[in-house]
Amino acid sequence: MEREALRHTPAGVPIVRFRVAHESTQSEGGVARKVGCEVRVVAAQTEARLLAGAPLGSDLRIAGFLDRQGKTGKQLVLHATRIEFISDN
Protein backbone atom coordinates (compact mmCIF):
# COMPACT_ATOMS: atom_id res chain seq x y z
CA MET A 1 0.00 0.00 0.00
CA GLU A 2 1.27 3.46 -0.89
CA ARG A 3 -0.51 6.38 0.75
CA GLU A 4 -0.57 10.18 0.54
CA ALA A 5 -0.99 12.32 3.64
CA LEU A 6 -4.48 12.97 4.98
CA ARG A 7 -5.80 16.26 3.62
CA HIS A 8 -9.09 18.14 3.72
CA THR A 9 -11.21 19.43 0.86
CA PRO A 10 -12.23 23.12 0.86
CA ALA A 11 -15.50 21.94 2.49
CA GLY A 12 -13.51 20.31 5.32
CA VAL A 13 -14.01 16.69 4.27
CA PRO A 14 -11.01 14.49 5.16
CA ILE A 15 -9.59 12.69 2.10
CA VAL A 16 -6.80 10.19 1.64
CA ARG A 17 -5.55 8.86 -1.70
CA PHE A 18 -3.64 5.61 -1.84
CA ARG A 19 -2.74 2.62 -3.99
CA VAL A 20 -3.26 -1.02 -3.21
CA ALA A 21 -1.76 -4.09 -4.82
CA HIS A 22 -3.96 -7.10 -5.55
CA GLU A 23 -2.74 -10.63 -6.21
CA SER A 24 -4.87 -13.75 -6.39
CA THR A 25 -5.63 -16.90 -8.34
CA GLN A 26 -8.84 -16.81 -10.38
CA SER A 27 -10.59 -19.36 -12.54
CA GLU A 28 -11.16 -18.50 -16.19
CA GLY A 29 -12.62 -21.08 -18.52
CA GLY A 30 -11.94 -23.77 -15.93
CA VAL A 31 -8.23 -22.91 -15.77
CA ALA A 32 -6.53 -21.37 -12.72
CA ARG A 33 -4.86 -18.08 -13.54
CA LYS A 34 -2.67 -15.86 -11.35
CA VAL A 35 -3.71 -12.23 -11.56
CA GLY A 36 -2.33 -9.04 -10.12
CA CYS A 37 -2.80 -5.31 -10.43
CA GLU A 38 -2.32 -2.02 -8.66
CA VAL A 39 -5.43 0.07 -8.02
CA ARG A 40 -5.76 3.77 -7.20
CA VAL A 41 -8.16 4.37 -4.32
CA VAL A 42 -9.63 7.43 -2.63
CA ALA A 43 -11.30 7.36 0.79
CA ALA A 44 -13.28 10.10 2.53
CA GLN A 45 -14.61 10.81 6.01
CA THR A 46 -14.38 7.85 8.43
CA GLU A 47 -12.50 5.61 6.01
CA ALA A 48 -9.91 8.34 5.38
CA ARG A 49 -9.28 8.80 9.10
CA LEU A 50 -9.11 5.05 9.64
CA LEU A 51 -6.61 4.58 6.84
CA ALA A 52 -4.46 7.58 7.74
CA GLY A 53 -3.38 5.86 10.97
CA ALA A 54 -2.94 2.36 9.54
CA PRO A 55 0.53 0.89 9.06
CA LEU A 56 1.68 0.58 5.46
CA GLY A 57 1.45 -3.00 4.21
CA SER A 58 -1.80 -3.74 6.05
CA ASP A 59 -4.08 -6.30 4.44
CA LEU A 60 -7.40 -4.70 3.53
CA ARG A 61 -10.81 -5.60 2.17
CA ILE A 62 -12.26 -2.61 0.33
CA ALA A 63 -15.80 -2.08 -0.93
CA GLY A 64 -16.82 0.88 -3.04
CA PHE A 65 -17.44 2.02 -6.58
CA LEU A 66 -15.36 2.81 -9.66
CA ASP A 67 -15.37 6.21 -11.31
CA ARG A 68 -13.03 8.01 -13.65
CA GLN A 69 -10.37 10.27 -12.19
CA GLY A 70 -11.61 13.82 -12.63
CA LYS A 71 -14.48 14.94 -14.81
CA THR A 72 -12.76 14.20 -18.10
CA GLY A 73 -10.23 11.58 -17.00
CA LYS A 74 -9.92 8.14 -18.54
CA GLN A 75 -8.21 6.38 -15.63
CA LEU A 76 -10.35 4.57 -13.08
CA VAL A 77 -10.25 5.20 -9.34
CA LEU A 78 -11.89 3.04 -6.67
CA HIS A 79 -13.86 5.19 -4.22
CA ALA A 80 -13.74 3.28 -0.94
CA THR A 81 -17.00 3.32 0.96
CA ARG A 82 -16.01 0.56 3.41
CA ILE A 83 -12.53 -0.53 4.55
CA GLU A 84 -11.94 -3.58 6.69
CA PHE A 85 -8.57 -4.63 8.04
CA ILE A 86 -7.84 -8.35 7.65
CA SER A 87 -5.75 -10.07 10.29
CA ASP A 88 -3.87 -13.34 9.89
CA ASN A 89 -5.42 -14.75 13.09
pLDDT of residue 35: 96
The DSSP element (H or E) to which 52 belongs, if any, is helix 45-52
Please tell me which residue, 53 or 26, carries the higher pLDDT value.
Answer: 26
3-state helix, strand, coil in the chain (%, to 5): 10, 60, 35
Question: What are the extents of the domains in the chain?
Answer: 2-82
pLDDT of residue 89: 54
- Tell whether the model's pLDDT for residue 71 goes beyond 90: no
What would the CATH number be for the domain defined by 2-82? 2.40.50.140
pLDDT of residue 1: 67
- Tell whether the model's pLDDT for residue 7 goes beyond 90: yes
Q: What is the DSSP letter of 51?
A: H
Instruction: Please tell me the distance from the alpha carbon of residue 48 to that of residue 14, in angstroms, as a whole number.
Output: 6
